[in-house]
Structure 1
Amino acid sequence: MAETARPTHPLTTDEAWAFTAERASATTFFFDFDGVLSPVTEDPDASQPVPEVLGVLERLAESVARVAIVSARPVSFLRSRFETLGNVDLHGLYGLEVWHDGQVVTEPAALDFVPTMAGLADSARAELPAEILVEFKRLSVALHYRTAPEHARPVERWAHEQAERLGLRIQHGRMVVELKPPVDQDKGMVITEGVRNAGCAWYFGDDMSDVKAFDALRAREAVDPAFFGMAVAVANPETGAEVSSAADLTLESPQAVAAFLTEGLRRF
């Protein structure tokens, strides 16, 4: 039987699932963590995937070529939440760390910045308002102002000053600003590499860093007429409109993501 021609955007979810099921053996599903598989929480350490996620990701990994989580979280954090899933790859810190086949691989160019990040975290705790949650991730530092949005501007200003002083890069997110090493690695680059040999790929994201991943799917489609990419946004009150405008489809919550996957798997 001849394969269905690649659908064009915009398209219905039925078309997307039908095409995906037909090419399941050549399909990869990528997911952000916070806001996609887990609700965003005031305390980042308290975040947990919604209860349905573990089971549905396990079934998905058995049905397609590959499932991967691509997150700003460190691999150690992701492993603590998904340790029961043996067939899911973990890309932490925007791809600076990768857990694959039982090993963590760290981008060598970023390792030199571990002492810089430790010192930066200490400075942030000493110089920023006490309400700002400073998250030290070994290779980056995230400054969360979700519980104190009135401090957003001074926190952003401080972060930019430190980035200029130390030669770091800035990543903006949902009520957070993060400082990272000046290493060419982001979610878009992870997806570009991840879809190199894929025939189909989906990416689920909720924040501005995920738009680069959406763009990577579009770029692959542009050079490979046989490749199909599906960009799925998850609604949120901070960056939702911008992310949704770059996506093919918007879901309302992490619970809706799990339900959407459960329904889609029935097509396989």
Structure 2
Amino acid sequence: MNDPLPPPPIDLIDGASLYLDFDGTLVEIAETPDAVVVEARVPALLSALSVRLDGRLALISGRAIDGLAALVQVPGLAISGSHGVETLWGDGRRDGPARSAGLDVAVDAVRAFAAARDGVLVEEKPFGVALHYRGDPAAADDAHALVMALAGDAGLDVQTGKMVVELRPAGVHKGHALRRLHAEAPFAGHRPLFVGDDDTDEAAFVAAAGLGGCGILVGPPRATAARYRLDDVTAVRRWLGDMR
């Protein structure tokens, strides 16, 4: 397909608040979440960007906040985790919902499913659970059917992504996360930019546009709410590095 989206200009960051996805955007997607490689240049880049933007930098990820904070190790960096369910603010505050009463039952069910299939991995989160089938793509239909069946009983929503399906609290997503962060200092009052690669990032592209900013898609051309596009993780790092 023809690509109608240009790369983002270097000066797009001027006066902006910048929100970044993690896997597939700042780092390459790995076979399992624990196998991701975070090169030393990534924390250094994030630290420099945070200074450049007077703290108006945050990560918005499907990962849980504690795990992501341990990977990047950038003090004072705001992180919204689990697709907007939980937030670690730059001043150390944390917030999140009550854990669903049905989540433990759902976790047991997906663990039993994964135990019977080589290559399927369970990622338990504080307020949800994800089923990764990158190691066994043939399990996709069964994995989605199971999670859909569990969602109602657990009182949770279904979130799909690249070779993953998960349960998360209802009514939250990355667009919700961006709007929540952007309502408070130091982000409020500045044009929001969101950079992400997955279908899960589309809600954040829409939210950024609704607040006067825009989205930047990472990866091959596809139907998207983003205004700009970068080819891959290397292109993202190059673009961000040019702005420091």
**TM (normalized to structure 2)?**
0.87
Deviations 1:64-94 (A, max 9, x none): 13110001111110111122x1232111112
- Alpha carbons 1:52, 1:258 under 8 Å: kept: no
Kindly report the root-mean-square deviation, in angstroms, between the aligned alpha carbons of the 2 structures: 2.2
Structure 1 position 19, deviation (Å): 5.2
SS of 2:149 mapped into structure 1: helix
SS of 2:127 mapped into structure 1: coil
**How do residues 123-142 of structure 1 correspond to structure 2 at under 5 angstroms?**
123-128=109-114, 129-131=116-118, 132-142=120-130
Where does residue 98 of structure 2 map in the other structure?
111
Where does residue 140 of structure 2 map in the other structure?
152
Where does residue 228 of structure 2 map in the other structure?
249
**How do residues 199-214 of structure 1 correspond to structure 2 at under 5 angstroms?**
199-214=190-205
Structure 1 position 152, deviation (Å): 0.6
- Alpha carbons 2:13, 2:243 under 8 Å: kept: no
Larger helix share, 1 or 2? 1
Deviations 1:2-38 (A, max 9, x none): xxxxxxx977633xx33533x2xxx211011111111
**Structure 1 stretches of 5 or more lacking a match?**
1-8, 222-228
SS of 2:94 mapped into structure 1: strand
Q: 1:20 and 2:13 equivalent? A: yes
**Match of residue 87, structure 2, among 87, 92, 98:** 98
Q: 1:67 and 2:62 equivalent? A: no
- Alpha carbons 1:61, 1:87 under 8 Å: kept: no
**How do residues 11-50 of structure 1 correspond to structure 2 at under 5 angstroms?**
13-14=8-9, 17-18=10-11, 20-21=13-14, 23=15, 27-50=16-39
Which structure exhibits the higher relative contact order, with contacts defined as CA atoms closer than 8 Å and separated by 6 or more residues? Answer: 2
SS of 1:241 mapped into structure 2: coil
Give the letter aligned to residue 192 of structure 1.
Answer: R
**Match of residue 158, structure 2, among 170, 184, 192:** 170
Q: Distance in 2 between matches of 1:20 and 1:103?
A: 25
Structure 1 position 176, deviation (Å): 0.5
Give the letter aligned to residue 13 of structure 2.
Answer: T
**Structure 2 stretches of 5 or more lacking a match?**
none
Deviations 1:85-110 (A, max 9, x none): 12321111122211124535232xx3
**How do residues 189-228 of structure 1 correspond to structure 2 at under 5 angstroms?**
189-196=176-183, 197-221=188-212
Runs of at least 4 residues of structure 1 off by over 4 A? 9-12
